[in-house]
Chains A and B, each alone.
Chain A
């Protein structure tokens, strides 16, 4: 038998396998989406316009004030853009996991347990939608605007920090999606709560953290969306942090990302095992 990715029994075998499968399954969805090219284009444009209004709502506030919690519009745009791209990428990759509660309700989740691929992989590729790229494009556009408006001397250091921030942030956001989706295995209200955390978390990252009260701020460290954009942005933009967070934490997002993914995978496995054993 040919030594294919699927036969790889080494330690990285599962990772290679899953990555391989993800590419194929998602690719199949993308190819099918592209069949309806016009619809895809229309939807993307529509999403762009609608999510564009999201930023307009923020920009409108700056008509009244020159800065919010010491952050100018361009700086807030940077925050919004980087966090937005992170959440957008996560949404594209694993966002379809929101549908899992629907599957459970309909009873079609069980069939996934019978297939040879991991349930998590199946769920995220099942409704993979290229059209969600609108959710990445819009914040990316805002980010471009921010970069142009900001008068930063971009160095290798700041560019690297930004790229790392967005990538790590995407993993943290993705982990958040998986963990909250896992909660839907237990409660019917779980889905609304899950949406509150993911979309609320995303909304939270649009503004600088010091803006919020204590409870919200502490939540942002536990969840841990403060690491998605705010903390690393302090470094890139060279801002003073009124919260007095240790400077080292500004570089912590890659570590937090790894930890988040670990927690997410464990939570998902636990949820599925529990679901199986209750025989629902």
Chain B
């Protein structure tokens, strides 16, 4: 247990040293937060509330999704957020495989550290920037805040599950760029990051619901906005846990076959 905590903590500290990147990354976060807020606001002003989202909701949505960029690693599904793919490419992964700890859990612990650091710095800062112009929605009760925290952590877990799978693809493909790109695009679109899933036409909402992506962004933000009562929150948590379990199992299966492959090749 101690090992995981230490891994996460050290990764947190490692990412804290990239101060320039954090600060610099904040600028596009704020900018896009505002741009998308205005666009979504225009839609709601025109059409009235959409899918239960009113003006304040969509504006908050825009900043909340920007805050999630780093923790959920939307733009780097499998890419830079998990060094795994890189280490497979260079062969350094062999060192990781020799370690006496569970391979998948090893990467998960690090990812949690990374996500925590990103959220606490860039995430919170970019969300708060919205308050300069807008009156954002925030949880108003302790239970609301607690629910939001829980679904946030679960969202990171689901996202890790997916990104780990994509990264494992490097064992076969060696070049992860194509897979990362596709994974990233799918994630961005179907998670509700670009446009809330509730804005999608019905058929597209069905497609999204059949994927793990909304569990990474749309659902947690809905809980944050307070759109779900206790039963609804329970359902969201169940959905997230379900996807996480599925992705973890898939990750372990894929990891096992990757390891067989590595051994067979005498690598």
- State the A residues within 8 Å of B (CB): 46, 50, 53, 56-57, 60-61, 63-65, 67-69, 188-193, 195-196, 199-200, 203-204, 207, 211-213, 215-216
A61 touches B181 (CB 8 A): no
CA distance A167 to B139 in the complex (A): 49
CB distance B20 to A188 under 8 Å? yes
Q: How far is the CA of A216 from the CA of B39 in the complex (A)?
A: 12
Q: What is the interface of chain B mostly: helix, strand, loop, or mixed?
A: helix
In angstroms, Cα B201 to Cα A14, docked, is: 56
B52 CB-CB contact with A under 8 Å: no
A61 engages B133 (CB within 8 Å) = no
> Contact between A57 and B194 (Cβ–Cβ < 8 Å)?
yes
Is A216 in contact with B194, judged by CB distance below 8 angstroms? no
Q: Is the CB of B181 within 8 A of A46?
A: yes
- Binding stretch for chain A, among B28-36, B78-86, B110-118, B251-259: B28-36
With the chains together, A207 CA to B40 CA distance in Å? 11
Hey, which chain B residues are within 8 Å of A193, CB to CB?
24, 27
Query: Contacts A61-B39, A203-B32, A212-B38 hold; do A50 and B200 have CB atoms under 8 A apart?
Result: no
Q: Is the CB of A215 within 8 A of B194?
A: no
Residues 173 to 194 of chain B near chain A (Cβ within 8 Å): 178, 181, 185, 189, 194
Which residues of chain A are within 8 angstroms of B31 by Cβ–Cβ distance?
196, 200
Q: How far is the CA of A193 from the CA of B28 in the complex (A)?
A: 7
In the bound complex, do residue A60 and residue B34 qualify as a contact, i.e. CB atoms below 8 Å apart? no
A69 B35 Cβ-Cβ under 8 A: no
B40: chain A residues within 8 A (beta carbon)? 61
B35 touches A200 (CB 8 A): yes
Interface residues of B (CB under 8 A from A): 20-21, 23-28, 31-32, 34-35, 38-40, 42-43, 46-47, 50, 133, 178, 181, 185, 189, 194-195, 199-201, 204
Contacting pair A65 B28 (CB below 8 A): no
Q: Out of A60, A195, A211, A213, which one reaches B199, CB within 8 Å?
A: A60
Minimal beta-carbon separation of A233 from chain B (angstroms): 17
User: Do A213 and B181 have beta carbons less than 8 Å apart?
Assistant: no
Nearest opposing residue in chain A for B46, CB measure: A65
Residues of B within 8 A of A211 (CB): 38-39, 42
B46 and A67: CB pair below 8 A? yes
Nearest CB of chain B from residue A176's CB, rounded to whole Å? 14
B21 contacts which chain A residues (CB < 8 A)? 192
Given contacts A64-B199, A196-B31, A213 and B133 within 8 Å (CB-CB): yes
Q: A192-B24, A196-B31 are in contact. Are A50 and B185 (CB under 8 A)?
A: yes
Return the contact of B195 from the options A46, A61, A67, A188 (Cβ within 8 A): A61
Q: Do the beta carbons of A203 and B43 come within 8 Å of each other?
A: no
Dominant SS among interface residues on chain A: helix
Q: Is the CB of B38 within 8 A of A53?
A: no
A residues near B42, Cβ cutoff 8 Å: 68-69, 207, 211
Query: Which B residues are CB-close (under 8 A) to A200?
Result: 28, 31-32, 35
Check A63 against B199 for contact (C-beta < 8 Å).
yes
**Chain A hits for B133, CB < 8 A:** 213, 215
Contact with A212, one of B28, B35, B195, B199 (Cβ below 8 angstroms): B35
Q: Could you pull out 26 A-B pairs where Cβ atoms are within 8 angstroms?
A: A50-B185, A53-B189, A61-B40, A61-B195, A63-B199, A63-B200, A64-B47, A188-B24, A189-B20, A189-B27, A190-B24, A192-B23, A192-B25, A192-B27, A193-B24, A196-B27, A200-B31, A200-B32, A200-B35, A207-B38, A207-B39, A211-B38, A211-B39, A213-B133, A216-B35, A216-B38
Determine which of B26, B43, B189 lies in contact with A65 in the assembled complex, contact meaning CB atoms within 8 Å: B43
Q: A64-B50, A68-B43 are in contact. Are A191 and B24 (CB under 8 A)?
A: yes
Complex Cα spacing A110 to B25, Å: 27
Q: Choose among B20, B34, B201 the residue that contacts A63 (Cβ–Cβ < 8 A).
A: B201
Write the nearest CB–CB distance from A52 to chain B, whole angstroms: 10
Q: CB distance B189 to A199 under 8 Å?
A: no
Q: A46-B181, A61-B39, A192-B24 are in contact. Are A213 and B34 (CB under 8 A)?
A: yes
Minimum C-beta distance from B28 to chain A (A)? 4
> Which of B25, B178, B204 lies in contact with A46, CB distance below 8 A?
B178
CB distance from B97 to the nearest CB of A (A): 31
14 new A-B contacts, CB < 8 A, other than A65-B43, A203-B35, are A46-B178, A60-B199, A61-B39, A61-B40, A61-B199, A188-B20, A192-B23, A192-B24, A193-B24, A200-B31, A207-B38, A211-B42, A213-B133, A216-B38
A60 touches B24 (CB 8 A): no
Q: What residues of A have a CB within 8 angstroms of the CB of B20 in the complex? A: 188-189
A192 near B28 (CB under 8 angstroms)? Answer: yes
Closest to B204 in A: A60
Q: Do A61 and B185 touch (CB < 8 A)?
A: no
